[in-house]
Amino acid sequence: MMAIHAPEGIARMTQTQTNGATRRTALITGCSSGIGAALARELCRRGLRVYATARRRESLAPLEAEGVIGLALDVDDDASIAAVFEAVARGSGSLDLLVNNAGFSQVGAVIDLTREDLRRQFETNVISPVRVTAAAMPLLRAAAVARGSAVVANVGSIVGLFTTPFAAAYCSSKAAVHSLTDALRMELAPFGIHVVSIQPGGVRSSFGRHAEAALRLPPESLYRPVEKGIRARAQAGQQGAMPAEQFVVPVADALLREPPPRVIRAGTHSRRLPFLKRWLPAATFDAKLVQMFGLDALRDSPRRSP
């Protein structure tokens, strides 16, 4: 194994960790509900010191009552990110596991999305995990020196492997997360830091409700006749979805393995849909999605004048 030599600051944090408790420490973003909250509970149950974060600290009260440490974090704000890791440095001295889970889904046809819609989607889903990971590096390196390794896990999605109508902003953001995760895996390996891509299928959460709230459908949209299909896309991931409490058990198993796998897939259709995308003819796969979300009805509707 390659020796890792710690800079002075990291050596100090490592000494703090050695002199204190030896519990592993995890930090998870986006813990107000769903995957983030369930994973925080599961890791806490397994004995880790868990920092759960969300924009609104009060949303973390149920987790704090169970022994999780709650911290307010706006992942789109660098000052908020810095403050959180200062708190973790004071409380733990190192970080064994970082899970970048915070995100949302911008629903709407591509040509209906505004510049601001796209910027917000990529700011939160793509740029923020990079900035959070960069800010966590001193703590991750301290853990790698003390224990031999640390882990960064980025929550992507199976729709980062294929794209559906009316969710292109979200699908493309998750495809970008997968690509950045691949690069991080190679770039952080010399420092003893494993990087994992979590690719959920359907997992029960408030995600669909939030997607509905962010739905973009202007009055003049060409897609008004298929509004029902657009709203169905906002809720699609919740149909037959796996409970988050069930989803996180194999995910936690995999994250705590040494070494962890490069990719973790779980949840409803997490294997079936990528399999179909890979093996069905592209035209057949597209046609299924066109039909599923009602786009075929537009072929029979009156043509609008330019």
170 as an active site residue: the answer is yes
* Full domain range(s) for residue 162: 8-300
* pLDDT for residue 239: 66
Contacts of 199 (CB under 8 A, 6+ apart): 156, 157, 158, 160, 161, 178, 263, 264, 265, 270
* pLDDT for residue 5: 36
Q: Does residue 52 contact residue 84 with C-beta atoms inside 8 Å? A: no
* pLDDT for residue 22: 77
pLDDT tens figures, 176-205: 999 999 999 999 999 999 999 999 988 876
Number of domains within the chain: 1
223 as an active site residue: the answer is no
Domain contains 131: yes
Q: Strands across the sheet with 49-54, in order?
A: 69-72, 49-54, 25-28, 97-100, 150-155, 193-200, 263-266
Domain contains 306: no
Q: What is the CATH number of the domain that holds 290?
A: 3.40.50.720
Tens-digit pLDDT profile for the chain (306 aa)?
Answer: 333 333 444 444 444 444 345 789 999 999 999 999 999 999 999 999 999 999 999 999 999 999 999 999 999 999 999 999 999 999 999 999 999 999 999 999 999 999 999 999 999 999 999 999 999 999 999 999 999 999 999 999 999 999 999 999 999 999 999 999 999 999 999 999 999 999 998 887 665 565 567 789 999 999 999 888 888 777 665 566 788 999 999 999 999 999 999 999 988 777 888 888 888 899 998 999 888 888 888 886 555 544
Helix, strand, or coil (residue 240)? coil
Domain contains 36: yes
Domain contains 253: yes
* pLDDT for residue 206: 63
* pLDDT for residue 4: 33
Domain contains 96: yes
Catalytic annotation, pick one of 51, 170, 223, 277 = 170
Hey, what are 16's tokens?
């703090």
Q: Which of 97, 101, 3 is nearest to 47 (CA)?
A: 97
State how far the Cα of 233 lies from the Cα of 220, in Å rounded to an integer: 20
Domain contains 294: yes
Domain contains 3: no
* pLDDT for residue 73: 98
State how far the Cα of 84 lies from the Cα of 132, in Å rounded to an integer: 10
Contacts of 124 (CB under 8 A, 6+ apart): 75, 76, 102, 103, 104
Domain contains 2: no
Q: Cite the beta strand spans of 73-205 per DSSP E.
A: 97-100, 150-155, 193-200
* pLDDT for residue 192: 98
Enter the pTM of the model: 0.87
